Amino acid sequence: MKFHFQHFLKALLLGLFTLFFANLHITGDIIKYINPKYDYMSKMTVIFFFVLLLIQVTRIWQEKHTHHVCSHRCDHDHGNSHWSLRRVVSYSIVAFPIVTGFMVPPATLDASIAANKGFLVSQGGGQSGGTERKSLMEGAESLVEKEDIDIYSSEHVPLPNENYLSEQEYDGKLRLLQESESIQMTEDMFSTYYGEINDNLESYVGKTIKMSGFVFKEEGLTGNQLVISRFLITHCVADASIIGFLTEFTGAVTIQEDAWVEIEGVLEVGNYNGYDLPLLKATSLNVVEEPSEPYIYPVLKMLGN
Partner 1 sequence: MPIFYLGQAIKNQATKERGDSMQSRQKQSYNISTVFVLGILLIILVPLFLGSKTLTIPNSFPQLNTIFLSILIEAIPFVLIGVLIAGFIQIFITEDHIRKWIPKNKFLAVVMSCVVGAAFPACECGIVPIVRRLIGKGVPLYAGVGFLLTGPLINPIVILSTYMAFGNDMEMALLRMGVGFVAALAIALTVSILFKSNQLKKSTGNFESATTGNKKQPFAARLHEMLKHSIDEFFDMSKYLIAGAFVAAFLQTYVSTQSLLQLGSSQMQSTFVMMALAFILSLCSEADAFIGASFRNVFPTSSILAFLIYGPMIDLKNTIMLLSVFKAKFVFVLFILITSIVFLFVNLTILL
How near is the Cβ of 300 to partner 1 at its closest, in Å? Answer: 5
Stretch that binds partner 1, among 50-58, 172-180, 209-217, 275-283 (CB under 8 A): 50-58
Tell me how far apart the terminal alpha carbons of the chain are, to the nearest angstrom: 56
Say whether residue 109 binds partner 1 (CB under 8 A): yes
Q: Using an 8 Å Cβ cutoff, are 277 and 270 in contact?
A: yes
**Does 56 interact with partner 1 (rule: CB under 8 A)?**
yes
- Residue closer to partner 1 by CB (options 117, 207) is 117
Out of 1, 63, 127, 223, the only residue in the binding site for partner 1 (CB under 8 A) is 127
The yes or no reply on residue 92 touching partner 1 (CB under 8 A) is yes
Backbone angles phi, psi at 266, to 5 degrees: -100, 135
Choose the binding region for partner 1 from 166-174, 177-185, 235-243, 261-269 (rule: CB under 8 A): 235-243
Q: Does 100 bind partner 1 (CB under 8 A)?
A: yes
Based on the number of CB atoms within 10 Å of its own CB, is 79 exposed (0-12), middle (13-18) or buried (19 or more)?
middle
Of 26, 28, 44, 171, the one binding partner 1 (CB under 8 A) is 44
User: What 8-state DSSP symbol labels residue 231?
Assistant: E
| Residues between 3 and 32 with contacts to partner 1, criterion CB under 8 A | 3, 5, 10, 13-14, 17, 21, 24, 30, 32
Per residue in 13-22, is it b (16+ CB within 10 Å) or e — as a string? bbbbbbbbbb
Cα 244 from Cα 194, distance rounded (Å): 8
* Nearest residue to 16 via CA among 62, 61, 52: 52
- Interface of this chain with partner 1, residues 149 to 208, rule: CB under 8 A: none
Question: Containing H/E element for 152?
Answer: none
Question: Stretches 100-108, 161-169, 204-212, 221-229: which one binds partner 1 (CB under 8 A)?
Answer: 100-108
Q: Which of 12, 15, 22, 132 is in the footprint of partner 1 by CB under 8 A? A: 132
Q: Find, among 237, 194, 244, the residue nearest to 218 by Cα.
A: 244
Closer CB to partner 1, 82 or 251, in the complex = 82
Give yes or no for residue 220 binding partner 1 (CB under 8 A).
no
**Torsion of the alpha carbons at 259, 261, 266 and 267, rounded to the nearest 10:** 60
Answer for the pair 13, 49: CB distance below 8 angstroms, yes or no: no
**Between 36 and 265, whose beta carbon lies closer to partner 1?**
36
* Per-residue interface string for the shown chain with partner 1, residues 239-278, x marking contact by CB under 8 A: x-x-------------------------------------
Residue 245 CA, chain-centre distance (Å), reads: 19
| Residue span binding partner 1 (CB under 8 A) among the ranges 93-101, 156-164, 169-177, 247-255 | 93-101
